[in-house]
Chains A and B, each alone.
Chain A
């Protein structure tokens, strides 16, 4: 079977590209090594849609971040993912910081970012009464929105699949060869795929994938970051950053779409691309960073810690690396997508589409393309009357599974039986929030396991936590095996 395009990597970049290519008369497949999409950097970051005041003018980041960010509100409506308008504050504590704020204001102007203003100390206190009294002022970017990046990636992929794009899960690419003059053959553990074009969106592993095609244009490394999730008790409304350093935006407090708050993130380069461990030192740094912004911050409100690696293309001026390979025609890199990668993703997708067209891909629009995706109904967001009607239609919507996040059985069943349905405990969590609350699945995991087992038609002991080979349980204790 021959494809026009194979996208390697099911993170935000790969799925955004899949969503874009679904609009055209192409045979496209996305190959992902994990059991679900959005299982690496995309689920391991803060989810801030930076409006684009940060990137240095002239960089690819500056070109793609502002338009990408501007597309989110409309995408949210079409694809049915959650969005929260928060705005961003970049808080200044010194004269030097205030100068930095001016620089960012200028960046914003050059990059074409609207809705950016400077607040004095008084205005800042009025907006966020809990903020450090030592703050002298801040940059306020009014257009910043928040998303759950894994929800966005799922929405992108589901809409792409509904419009004919294929998805191969557990399809880690192991080898790439050429067939004839133009075509590539990709080999996974159990399958092979032929294609005219490859889009490499393999995140921190993009250089390894490129090397399979004999391309050695850049080297990838991860910039590791720790993050904390806080319970829904932190009284802030705006994303808050300190003034940025050279490589990182600093430790921020980030109100999420679900009403929690994140602290994120630390930034250290790591040799090991698979290292997404939390370290005690990093968590300490987060707590101190949070206290700098909100001095009365209580570390007891932490309900989870996690970590991720931002894919950095080395010796590339901290910029994205998005272009057709210099040496291998038809091989497009969408690499080095570090922050603001989530914000830029929709614009990256259009940019990659144009690169493909320039490389000779014939793109003709589909007449029957459907830009809309129906989301999984969210019980906790319905009115009392809507909830009542939902239960009267199907009693499973009246049966609680996750009490912390108010997720009924009906919602979990709906999340399993979809175009891109959940097949793992973590997959259910990302789609419904069951297990994401303050008890961290202590009360609901066994119920989620029962539902997954029943709906997938597999024994409970075969239900995966997340990755292949990692079951939650080791089998039955007694009786029939």
Chain B
């Protein structure tokens, strides 16, 4: 087994990986992308609907079109793209073990960018009672069958969860002549983007049932029906509200989980609120020289946001490699971390710590844990207000928020900053 050496190795050839690799290549010589599938572009390849690129390209593209722009740009460079290459181990000293069709392969990296994306939550994780028949798919798997494999997953479909993939699939299946019985959402609000509720459900007359969930799966060989129930304020099913909905297929669109099994092998510390790595303002994880971006870091609403974050990660990873060649004063910096603490409505922040020297501007992204009709973002360091929104507005969990802080506003005495959404009603 020979060892291949690169300045920056990016794990994952989806939108995050490609954007990170392209950016890194601007300042370092040798960049590689390791992709487990047989093509670049990741999950975008099966997202044949439009709505991508409005921020990055100022035009509306389909998923494959958006991906292709990055694939084309990558092809113009000397970035080495390894397809059918599955990373099975990463060590702390940035050695990567991968399986390929030629044999096992070891890569040595000056810096690593984690860009493995996320996986879908499954039936098991939400423990839906009932039988275990054929006909239960995650929405993404059904999307793969319909858009890329040319197969009909069923004829009468119930969708549990109002995540964006579920909403998009409700429309997609309807367009294929498959009956969508309804979309059922546990929470009292939809989890997908407003435009998807409008364009994918309302325009096709597909009912959305809020505060309702599937409480039983029925059918011994193929699914025959689901039992749905209304839930109370504590999200517990209300006895007596059960209703049987006949179907031969159940799609689950109940959330995404960043895929960090490899990160854990490298010793990367995770944030339990995001299931992604804890990172600082340079998107560096707890393991020096390993960076993270895109859905492996935290689940994004839009691919455009992923691209921007990944470009930052690529730039920081390359800078790490270049600086490493000159100085090794990294340790000193590490001692001056400022914690970023989510407070009140704010469920998590990325980054979770800041080294003011690392970036002139600190980009803080966050989500609220529940909707707030009228709130203001407030970022404070002790008594010092670092940022406050001018106008109160609505906040919902399905929309990622961001706020930029100038690093020089952070005093050397500062140990933590707090990020919150202040309700304007109380």
Specify which of B1, B119, B124, B146 lies most central, judged by the most chain A CB atoms within 10 Å of its CB. B124
Say yes or no: is B99 at the interface (Cβ < 8 Å to chain A): yes
A305 touches B140 (CB 8 A): no
A279 touches B129 (CB 8 A): yes
Question: Which chain A residue shows the least CB distance to B84?
Answer: A399
Say yes or no: is A302 at the interface (Cβ < 8 Å to chain B): yes
Q: How far is the CA of A304 from the CA of B133 in the complex (A)?
A: 13
B104 touches A384 (CB 8 A): yes
State which residues 371-392 of A face B: CB under 8 Å: 384, 387-388, 391-392
Say yes or no: is A218 at the interface (Cβ < 8 Å to chain B): no
Q: How far is the CA of A399 from the CA of B36 in the complex (A)?
A: 9
In the complex, chain B residues whose CB is within 8 Å of the CB of A279: 129
Nearest CB of A to B120, in Å: 5
In the complex, chain A residues whose CB is within 8 Å of the CB of B152: 473-477
Q: How far is the CA of A476 from the CA of B150 in the complex (A)?
A: 6
Beyond A303-B124, A303-B125, is A479–B150 a contact (Cβ under 8 Å)?
Answer: yes
- With beta carbons under 8 angstroms apart, the residue of B101, B134, B155, B221 that contacts A391 is B101
Nearest CB of B to A89, in Å: 26
Say yes or no: is A192 at the interface (Cβ < 8 Å to chain B): no
Binds B, one of A4-12, A152-160, A178-186, A464-472: A464-472
Beyond A384-B104, A442-B140, is A278–B120 a contact (Cβ under 8 Å)?
Answer: no
Specify which of B1, B104, B123 lies most central, judged by the most chain A CB atoms within 10 Å of its CB. B104
Beyond A384-B1, A446-B145, A476-B152, is A300–B104 a contact (Cβ under 8 Å)?
Answer: no
B151 touches A440 (CB 8 A): no
Q: How far is the CA of A209 from the CA of B132 in the complex (A)?
A: 26
A474 touches B221 (CB 8 A): no
Task: Digitize B132-164: 1 where CB-to-A-CB distance is under 8 Å, 0 elsewhere.
Answer: 111101101100111001111111000000000
A277 touches B130 (CB 8 A): yes
Beyond A303-B125, A442-B141, is A395–B102 a contact (Cβ under 8 Å)?
Answer: yes
Task: Digitize B69-112: 1 where CB-to-A-CB distance is under 8 Å, 0 elsewhere.
Answer: 00000000000000010101000000001011111100000000
Say yes or no: is B286 at the interface (Cβ < 8 Å to chain A): no
Nearest CB of B to A440, in Å: 4
Q: How far is the CA of A454 from the CA of B193 in the complex (A)?
A: 40
A303 touches B122 (CB 8 A): yes
Interface size on B, residues (CB 8 A): 50
Say yes or no: is A25 at the interface (Cβ < 8 Å to chain B): no
Nearest CB of A to B137, in Å: 8
B101 touches A478 (CB 8 A): no
Question: Which chain B residue shows the least CB distance to A404?
Answer: B261
Q: How far is the CA of A307 from the CA of B258 in the complex (A)?
A: 29
Q: How far is the CA of A275 from the CA of B217 in the complex (A)?
A: 12
Say yes or no: is B215 at the interface (Cβ < 8 Å to chain A): yes
Say yes or no: is A306 at the interface (Cβ < 8 Å to chain B): yes
Say yes or no: is A240 at the interface (Cβ < 8 Å to chain B): no
Say yes or no: is B220 at the interface (Cβ < 8 Å to chain A): yes
Nearest CB of B to A461, in Å: 7
A473 touches B125 (CB 8 A): no
Question: Which chain A residue shows the least CB distance to B262?
Answer: A403
Beyond A277-B130, A442-B140, A472-B134, is A300–B153 a contact (Cβ under 8 Å)?
Answer: no
Say yes or no: is B131 at the interface (Cβ < 8 Å to chain A): yes
Question: Which chain B residue shows the least CB distance to A282?
Answer: B129
B129 touches A277 (CB 8 A): yes
In the complex, chain B residues whose CB is within 8 Å of the CB of A278: 127-130, 132
Beyond A274-B220, A474-B155, A479-B150, is A384–B131 a contact (Cβ under 8 Å)?
Answer: no
- With beta carbons under 8 angstroms apart, the residue of A283, A300, A400, A441 that contacts B99 is A400
Q: How far is the CA of A205 from the CA of B132 in the complex (A)?
A: 20
Question: Which chain A residue shows the least CB distance to B139?
Answer: A442
Say yes or no: is A406 at the interface (Cβ < 8 Å to chain B): yes
Say yes or no: is A229 at the interface (Cβ < 8 Å to chain B): yes
Say yes or no: is B222 at the interface (Cβ < 8 Å to chain A): yes
In the complex, chain B residues whose CB is within 8 Å of the CB of A168: none
Task: Digitize A425-456: 1 where CB-to-B-CB distance is under 8 Å, 0 elsewhere.
Answer: 00000000000001111110110000000000
Beyond A278-B130, A391-B103, is A474–B124 a contact (Cβ under 8 Å)?
Answer: no
A306 touches B104 (CB 8 A): no
Beyond A445-B141, A473-B151, A473-B152, is A302–B130 a contact (Cβ under 8 Å)?
Answer: no
Nearest CB of A to B289, in Å: 23
B149 touches A306 (CB 8 A): no
In the complex, chain B residues whose CB is within 8 Å of the CB of A460: 149, 151
Say yes or no: is B335 at the interface (Cβ < 8 Å to chain A): no
Q: How far is the CA of A276 from the CA of B131 in the complex (A)?
A: 7
State which residues 224-249 of B face A: CB under 8 Å: 237, 248
B99 touches A387 (CB 8 A): yes
Q: How far is the CA of A303 from the CA of B261 in the complex (A)?
A: 15
B99 touches A391 (CB 8 A): yes
B102 touches A398 (CB 8 A): yes
Nearest CB of B to A211, in Å: 23
Question: Which chain B residue shows the least CB distance to A299?
Answer: B127
- With beta carbons under 8 angstroms apart, the residue of A384, A388, A443, A476 that contacts B119 is A443
New A-B pairs, 10, CB < 8 Å, besides A396-B101, A403-B36: A280-B127, A280-B215, A302-B127, A304-B122, A388-B104, A391-B102, A440-B123, A443-B119, A443-B141, A460-B149
Question: What 6 A-B pairs come out closest when comparing CB atoms?
Answer: A465-B134, A304-B124, A470-B221, A400-B86, A440-B122, A388-B104
